Copies of this chain bind each other. A is one copy, B any other.
């Protein structure tokens, strides 16, 4: 379910090559922290984790790294909980659909079906709306917590 760090790093490096950017220590550390946690984390959760090794880190450092990781499609943001999550479907381009458990706080990412994607595009088109990206977040109770 969870991508290994090495694979994510590889993907990050590819992104960097294509965009004149660099996978710096800050960015790598934030990614590693998110991978290690196996849970969605808030920016301040990440900040706390960073501080255990580098006490002077401040919020903008985290938000900048998260921005990079989101642009590189390695991390998704969860709008309804203000958290961040490592992408679990790097293998193909996708828009995420998130299943957010209200009990344990875990979030499962599932790829949005092509059918759904088509429907969303269709409904946007009907309203003359130029669609750029979307957030689809389902809240409920996961299998484990039932």
Q: Is the CB of B135 within 8 A of A110?
A: no
What is the CA–CA distance of A119 and B136 in the complex, to the nearest angstrom? 13
**Cβ-based interface call for A20 (8 A):** no
Choice from B79, B108, B119 contacting A135 with Cβ under 8 Å = B79
**Cβ-based interface call for A128 (8 A):** yes
How far in angstroms is the closest Cβ of chain B from A63? 16
What is the CA–CA distance of A140 and B130 in the complex, to the nearest angstrom? 5
- Please name all residues of chain B whose beta carbon is closer than 8 Å to the beta carbon of A108 when the two chains form the complex: 127, 129
**Cβ-based interface call for A123 (8 A):** yes
A120-136 Cβ-contact flags toward B at 8 Å (1 or 0): 10011001111111111
Closest-by-CB residue of B relative to A124 is B138
**Cβ-based interface call for A54 (8 A):** no
In chain A, positions 88-130 with a C-beta closer than 8 Å to chain B are: 97, 99, 101-102, 108, 110, 113, 115-116, 119-120, 123-124, 127-130
